[in-house]
C-alpha cells in the first residue's frame, strides 16, 4: 500500500465506505504526518516510542522520489508524482529555464494553482460538506507550497508540536460536521538532517512526539480515528561520503541544469545537445556511478513506473538523466551547494527500504 492511498481511505471512512486501508467508519479523523519518520528508524527506536510502535502494523510505501514535496502532494491529492507534477525537491521549470525549489522557491512566475495539477482531497471533502483542517507552523500558512498542496483546507497555525496537538484536541471537541484534520510535524526531519537519526537529539524528539500521540489518542471518542504516518524515511550519510560531482568535470559536459536532491540527482541536458552527445553523457555516468547508484534516463524511469503514470506536461520537469543512490552516498554540486547542505547527515530521496518504507499507526476507531 502507498501513502497516496491514505487520504482517499480516510475520505471513504467518513462516507462509511470500503477502502484500501480497511478503515472502519469514523466521524472525525486526525492524520498526523511526522516528516522523516521511517519504518526502519521507528523499529530501531521502538523502546523510545512505545505508543507509535504498538499501533504500527505492516509498513506502507511512500512515493518516488522519497522527498517531502513529492510525498505531501501525493498524500493530499491521492495521486502519484507523475500526475500531480511535484517530481522532486528541486525541479526544472522549463518555461523559465531555471531550477526551482518546490518547498520554498515559489514566486510570481510559478502559479501554485496550476503547477500542482490535481484537485486535493481537502477540496473534495469540503465539496461533500465535510470539515477539512490543516495544523502546522505559522511560517507555512500562506506559502506557495501550501497553496499548491493543501488548498481547500482551513489552515490553523500553532508554533510547537504540543501546541499543534492541542489544536487537534480542541477540534475533536468542536461541534460541527464530520471531517479531516491533517497535523504536520517537521521537527524530527530537521534534527535528522542536522545530526542524523541515530543521534540522541533525534531520539529525544521522537519521545516527545510519541508522548503527544499517546495523549491525543486518549482523547479520541468512539467515532474518532487517528493515523500517524510519514512522508519518507531517512538514512545517515557521513560527510565523508558526500560526493562532489563538480570535481569530475567530464560528468558535467552537456549538462545544463542539476536538479533533484543529493540522493537522487535529476540532470537536464543542454537544449541543443545532439542525440549522440546525450548517449555519451549517459554512458559516462553509468561508467562512473553504476556501482553505487541506479542510473536511468527519463524514458527508462517512466517505463519502469518510478513516478507512476506521467502526464505529458510533467515530463519536462523530470531529469533527462536520474542518478538514484544505491549505496550510502549523497551527491552534491559544489558550485551551488551551501555549507549547511554540505553538512547534512540525514538524507533521503532514493529507493532504499529505509527511505521508502514508512509507518502507519492506527488509533481509536481505526485500531484493529
pLDDT score of 20: 97
Q: Do 286 and 326 reside in the same domain of the chain?
A: yes
pLDDT value at residue 37: 98
- CA–CA dist 162, 211 (Å, integer): 9
Tell me the three cell numbers of residue 41: 528508524
Q: Which grid cell sits at 210?
A: 510519541
d(CA 230, CA 139): 20
pLDDT of residue 221: 96
Q: Is 110 within a domain?
A: yes
Which residue in 116, 109, 183, 105 sits closest to 148, CA to CA? 116
Please determine, for residue 250, whether its predicted confidence score (pLDDT) is greater than 90.
yes
Are residues 200 and 290 both part of a single domain?
no
Do 142 and 265 fall into the same domain? no
The answer to whether residue 42 is domain-embedded is yes
CA distance 155 to 168: 12
Q: Are 318 and 324 in contact (CB under 8 A)?
A: no
The mean pLDDT value for 15-43 works out to 98
Q: Do 127 and 13 fall into the same domain?
A: yes
Residue 259: is its pLDDT beyond 80?
yes
Residues 41 and 149 in one domain: yes
Does the residue 95 lie in any domain? no
Rg (CA), the chain: 20
> What is the extent of the structural domain holding 160?
3-87+100-235+351-364
- Same domain flag for 173 and 39: yes
Query: Same domain for 14 and 55?
Result: yes
Residues 6+ apart with CB under 8 A from 45: 203, 206
Classify residue 94: in a domain, yes or no.
no
Determine the average pLDDT of the residues in 142-165. 98
- Residue 137 sits in the same domain as residue 256: no
Query: Domain of 178: which CATH number?
Result: 3.40.720.10
Angle at 355 between CA 29 and CA 229, to 5 degrees: 10
Is 93 part of a structural domain of the chain?
Answer: no
Burial class (CB in 10 A: 0-12, 13-18, 19+), 354: buried
Domain check: are 124 and 59 in the same one? yes
Q: Do 181 and 56 fall into the same domain?
A: yes
Q: What is residue 32's predicted lDDT score, i.e. its pLDDT?
A: 98
Is 307 inside any structural domain? yes
224 vs 147: CA distance, rounded Å: 28
What would the mean pLDDT of 132-141 be, rounded to a whole number? Answer: 97
Provide the domain count of the chain: 2
Q: Are strands 330-332 and 361-364 parallel, antiparallel or unpaired?
A: unpaired
Q: Are both 81 and 122 inside the same structural domain?
A: yes
Looking at residue 337, what is its pLDDT? Answer: 86
| Structure confidence by residue, pLDDT tens digits, 191-242 | 999 999 999 999 999 999 999 999 999 999 999 999 999 999 999 999 999 9
Q: Tell me the DSSP string of 89-151.
A: SEEEEGGGTEEEETTT---TTS-HHHHS-S--HHHHHHHTT-EEEEEE-GGGTT-HHHHHHST
Are 81 and 133 contained in the same domain?
A: yes
Amino acid at each position: 500500500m502507498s501513502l497516496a492511498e491514505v487520504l482517499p481511505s480516510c475520505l471513504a471512512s467518513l462516507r462509511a465506505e470500503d477502502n484500501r486501508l480497511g478503515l472502519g467508519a469514523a466521524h472525525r479523523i486526525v492524520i498526523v504526518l511526522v516528516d522523516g519518520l521511517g519504518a526502519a528508524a521507528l523499529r530501531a527506536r521502538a523502546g523510545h516510542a512505545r505508543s507509535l510502535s504498538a499501533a504500527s502494523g505492516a509498513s506502507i510505501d511512500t512515493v518516488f522520489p522519497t522527498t517531502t514535496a513529492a510525498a505531501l502532494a501525493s498524500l493530499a491529492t491521492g495521486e502519484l508524482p507523475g500526475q500531480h507534477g511535484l517530481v522532486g525537491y528541486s525541479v526544472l521549470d522549463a518555461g523559465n529555464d531555471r531550477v526551482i525549489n518546490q518547498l520554498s522557491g515559489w514566486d510570481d512566475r510559478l502559479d501554485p494553482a496550476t503547477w500542482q495539477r490535481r484537485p486535493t482531497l481537502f477540496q473534495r471533502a469540503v465539496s461533500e460538506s465535510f470539515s477539512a483542517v490543516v495544523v502546522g507552523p505559522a511560517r507555512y500558512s500562506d506559502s506557495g507550497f501550501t497553496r499548491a498542496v493543501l488548498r481547500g483546507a482551513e489552515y490553523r497555525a500553532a508554533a510547537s508540536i504540543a501546541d499543534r496537538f492541542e489544536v487537534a484536541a480542541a477540534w475533536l471537541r468542536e461541534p460541527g460536521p464530520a471531517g479531516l484534520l491533517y497535523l504536520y510535524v517537521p521537527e524530527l526531519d530537521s534534527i535528522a538532517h542536522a545530526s542524523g537519526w541515530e543521534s540522541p537529539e533525534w531520539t529525544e524528539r521522537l519521545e516527545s512526539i510519541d508522548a503527544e500521540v499517546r495523549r491525543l489518542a486518549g482523547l479520541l471518542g468512539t467515532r474518532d480515528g487517528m493515523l500517524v504516518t510519514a512522508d519518507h524515511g531517512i538514512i545517515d550519510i557521513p560527510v565523508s561520503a558526500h560526493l562532489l560531482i563538480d570535481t569530475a568535470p567530464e560528468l558535467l559536459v552537456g549538462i545544463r541544469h542539476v536538479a533533484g536532491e543529493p540522493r537522487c540527482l535529476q540532470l537536464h541536458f543542454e537544449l541543443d545537445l545532439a542525440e549522440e552527445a546525450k548517449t555519451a553523457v549517459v554512458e559516462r555516468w553509468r561508467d562512473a556511478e553504476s556501482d553505487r547508484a541506479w542510473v536511468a534516463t527519463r524514458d527508462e524511469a517512466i517505463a519502469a513506473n518510478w513516478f507512476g503514470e506521467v502526464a505529458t506536461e510533467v515530463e519536462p520537469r523530470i531529469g533527462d538523466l536520474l542518478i538514484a543512490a544505491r549505496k550510502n552516498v549523497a551527491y552534491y554540486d559544489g558550485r551551488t551547494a551551501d555549507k549547511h547542505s554540505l553538512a547534512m547527515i540525514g538524507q533521503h530521496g532514493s529507493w532504499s527500504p529505509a527511505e521508502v518504507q514508512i509507518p502507519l499507526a492506527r488509533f481509536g476507531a481505526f485500531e484493529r
